[in-house]
Amino acid sequence: HPQRQLTDFISAFRETETFGSEFSSFIEVFLEGLISNEGAPGKRKGALPSKKKKRTPSRRKVASVVPLDDDPMRKKAPAANLVRQLKWGCGESLNVDQTITCARVLCGIIEDASKRAGTTNLLRQRQESLNQMGASAVALAMVASENHKLYLAGLNLGVDLLAGGSWEVQSTMYGLLESGEVKALDGSGTTVFTRIRSALRLSEREIHRRKAFLATQKMQRDSFEEMTLGLSEATIEVFRRDLDAEFETLAHPCSLLCFLQRLCEGHYVEMQDLLHDQPNSKVSSSLVSDAALLLIELEANLDEYVAEQARLCCDLLVEVVQGNTTGVIATVLSEFKLSETLN
């Protein structure tokens, strides 16, 4: 299995015809060394108990990350090598396509555990291992990137790392976000919160852009024969593909809203408040307010396409207000006429 020039290997492998069918087998290469006695909780120091501990949000602490060098087994794990290469390949030296493929492999490691029946512990153990290797930091750095492909790949990795309410990953991400030290992987200089705020506002604009896009498509369909009269078959085929094209979002609101909801899942009060105000940042962004404004805009333009966005937006707002013992979020949301929107 590839230990050297790993990203080059992945790039070449991705171009093969059998990539889709062999991806599961490819993922197995990276499972070695993630957790000793995987599937047997309690055999390894730091393994999760079989029963989930009851959490008290106000007393919750940031999870401590064990240095990779302190665990020789994980240090040599192929997945650890993969995360290290993602960390090193930032800024101008970043190869976007290879980075996205590497992130997909990390997602595959988690999704492999999710597909196995009765393997809740296995899922949590893999999430914990990848988190200790630095995958959470990589995910946040990708989300902060201006490059929309990296941004989406970071959201997908974050959603998988947080799946099932992984409080270890939540706590690690809280520590990174609260410190304000996360830097965009593409070297763009944006922070996670400013990038997400920009995406939420772009989601509002895309509601109207999609309507204009569909209206233009309809006009082109109505005049298709006239537009293509006398053109070659190849040119006509290009026009036809344009008519069948789906609206492309750069904000990816569904993935974004799911990511934000999972960040504060389980009445994580500190994260709930952090999504509204970032005291350690030069510029504070109220993502809660932006989410409320997005929901209002979605309701005013509700159709089959945006219905899922509206549902996820409601899930997020419910998650940030439930169990918020500080009362901060309820105060923020009271400024919006959400009762009329929800009715």
pLDDT reported for residue 73: 47
Distances (CA, A) of 180 to 173, 274, 281: 11, 11, 6
pLDDT of the residue at 20 = 61
Instruction: Assess contact for 158 and 258: CB atoms under 8 A.
Output: no
Report yes or no: 132 and 81 within 8 Å, Cβ to Cβ.
no
Lowest model confidence (mean pLDDT) among 100-104, 115-119, 224-228: 115-119
Q: How far is CA 266 from CA 34, 95, 112, 339, in A?
A: 26, 36, 24, 24
**Mean pLDDT, the chain, integer:** 84
pLDDT of residue 340: 79
Q: Lowest mean pLDDT: which of 81-95, 151-165, 184-198?
A: 81-95
Closest CA to 82 of 6, 189, 169, 163: 6
| pLDDT for residue 210 | 94
Residue 24: what pLDDT?
75
292 secondary structure, DSSP code: H
User: Strand, coil or helix: what is 53?
Assistant: coil
Averaged pLDDT, 185-198: 95
Find the range with the poorest average confidence among 10-19, 40-49, 102-111, 153-162: 40-49
Confidence check: pLDDT of 250 > 90? yes
CA distances from 67 to 33, 64, 127, 140, 296 (A): 15, 9, 16, 19, 45
CA distances from 205 to 148, 191, 198, 249 (A): 16, 21, 11, 10
Q: Which pLDDT belongs to residue 140?
A: 97
Which stretch of 81-90, 143-152, 167-176 has the lowest confidence by average pLDDT? 81-90
Of 96, 95, 175, 160, nearest to 130 by C-alpha is 160
Residue 36: per-residue pLDDT: 46
What was the pLDDT predicted at 95?
85
Structure tokens at 58: 């106000």
The answer to whether 65 touches 25, Cβ cutoff 8 Å, is no
Pairwise CA distance, residues 322 & 30, whole Å: 38
The tens digit of pLDDT for each residue in 259-313 reads: 999 999 999 999 999 999 999 888 899 999 999 999 999 999 999 889 999 999 9
Taking CA atoms, 250 is separated from 150, 188, 301, in Å, by: 11, 17, 19
| pLDDT, position 119 | 65
The model's pLDDT over 201-224, given as tens digits with 9 standing for 90+, comes to 999 999 999 999 999 989 988 888
Output the pLDDT for position 227.
83
pTM of the predicted model over 0.95: no
| pLDDT given for residue 77 in this prediction | 83
Which candidate, 67, 74, 78, 129, places its Cα nearest to that of 102? 78
Split at pLDDT 50, 70, 90, the class of 181 is confident
pLDDT the model gives residue 337: 78
Q: Tell which wins on pLDDT, 69 or 187.
A: 187
**CA–CA gap between residue 181 and residue 91 (Å, rounded):** 16
The position carrying tokens 């994980």 is 74
Long-range contacts of 15-20 (CB under 8 A, 24+ apart): none
Express each pLDDT in 19-46 by its tens digit: 666 777 778 888 887 764 444 433 333 3
Cα 260 from Cα 174, distance rounded (Å): 12
